[in-house]
Structure 1
């Protein structure tokens, strides 16, 4: 019995230690709702920088607890429609934001990077409002996400060796994202990615409206230049710089 008690106490201590990896008020979204799909793009190479950003040690969505609970509520609304949220980015360490800034000023333009900003020089992305030197993501209250239609085949995977069309091209030509067609790819720095863009098809506009409305019912506000970006007013606060590490 004594050994069992010691073992149980050790397990509880281990669980508590894991829980304490995050600052107070932050949670792993998987612990709130494991059904929400995650494709944390800055933890890999499938992003506009072409490599993992600093601070992304694991492909995990970390958010403020209140934000996680509201996302679970959105997911519960979508589930009967055979739809799911898909997270592209959640909490973003301040060091990752600084990494983006350094990237924008390195003076290099590669074909892979141009897939994400086909009409602009990357040095102009801050001036045009596509990248910010201080990001709401670093507070844990901003999110990048999309919708997934669970009734269709979403198995197509990104191939880093393939020469995809830019993010404004037809969905069959640009890099696959395993989600509904929103008219552009994620992180597309282009007027076509503006939420109310007139240059997209009616079906694409309906998907955007469905996402915006579902999020708005829980208090989330969309950023007009990015159909994928949402924030929860009042849930932010200070910016953090702790790295995103594995849950276990």
Structure 2
């Protein structure tokens, strides 16, 4: 598995909507982390994403990508903002985003609206767990639909974030060095929590 087998998702799948949250201030740090909106995935994950795109279309939805490949430098910034391994992979393990095999995603309905999932992206709490009983029934159904679409494409979810999906064997892929720059750690450390 070549570490630089990354695909530009924006070019490969023009039908996708992309809103890379870490290129904006709309994330848990409250500041942009990425210096640009580069949306990259390993070729194997891009193949699974292609299947999920088709399945979402059949179900009457489109996918909205919130994050994909994440430079290790960005992972370090996120760890400093939220040093809780339930939600952010510790640097010693490395993130599957930094392997190019994970993505954060939600659904858009046929009217072009983002589907209600009960919490926002990057809400690092138990309410973000895929099957939390305090989440409204319709939001639970929406999470189940997203989960079904992504699993049918070949991804697997995690127990703490409804938006996170990765290839089942992600830990077998190498971490990929920083392929694009991040804002300095000192800028991103001015976090209001």
Same fold (TM over 0.5): yes
C-alpha distance in 2 between matches for 1:131 and 1:24: 23
- Which residue pairs with 1:82 in the alignment? 60
C-alpha distance in 2 between matches for 1:81 and 1:197: 24
Instruction: Give deviations 1:46-77, integer Å, cap 9, x for gaps.
Output: 11112121xx2321210001211221221112
Q: Is the 8 A contact 2:4 2:176 kept in 1?
A: no
Which structure's CA Rg is the greater one?
Answer: 1
- Which residue pairs with 1:130 in the alignment? 87
Q: For residue 226 of structure 1, give the secondary structure of its aligned residue in structure 2.
A: coil
Q: For residue 217 of structure 1, give the secondary structure of its aligned residue in structure 2.
A: helix
1:216 CA drift (Å): 1.0
The answer to whether the aligner puts 1:35 opposite 2:15 as a matched pair is yes
Unaligned runs of 5+ in 1: 1-22, 105-121, 155-178
The answer to whether the aligner puts 1:221 opposite 2:147 as a matched pair is no
Q: How many residues align?
A: 176
Normalising by structure 2, what TM-score? Answer: 0.84
C-alpha distance in 2 between matches for 1:91 and 1:48: 17
Choose the corresponding residue for 1:50, options 14, 30, 41. Answer: 30
Q: For residue 225 of structure 1, give the secondary structure of its aligned residue in structure 2.
A: coil
Using a 3 Å threshold, how does the CA distance of structure 1 residues 24 and 135 change in structure 2: closer, same or farther? closer
1:242 CA drift (Å): 2.4
1:142 CA drift (Å): 0.9
1:80 CA drift (Å): 3.7
Q: Which consecutive segments of 4 or more residues in structure 1 shift more than 6 A?
A: none
Q: Is the 8 A contact 1:32 1:69 kept in 2?
A: no
C-alpha distance in 1 between matches for 2:139 and 2:105: 15
Cα RMSD over matched residues?
A: 1.9
Unaligned runs of 5+ in 2: 182-193
Instruction: Give deviations 1:98-138, integer Å, cap 9, x for gaps.
Output: 11233x3xxxxxxxxxxxxxxxxx5xx415x1112221110
- Out of 92-101 and 71-80, give the one that drifted further: 71-80
- Which residue pairs with 1:163 in the alignment? none
Instruction: Give deviations 1:121-175, integer Å, cap 9, x for gaps.
Output: x5xx415x111222111000011111111315x4xxxxxxxxxxxxxxxxxxxxx
C-alpha distance in 2 between matches for 1:215 and 1:25: 21
Instruction: Give deviations 1:24-63, integer Å, cap 9, x for gaps.
Output: 311101232111110001011111112121xx23212100
C-alpha distance in 2 between matches for 1:100 and 1:70: 26
Normalising by structure 1, what TM-score? Answer: 0.66
- Which residue pairs with 2:40 in the alignment? 62
C-alpha distance in 2 between matches for 1:238 and 1:181: 34
> Which of structures 1 and 2 has the larger relative contact order (alpha carbons within 8 angstroms, sep 6+)?
2
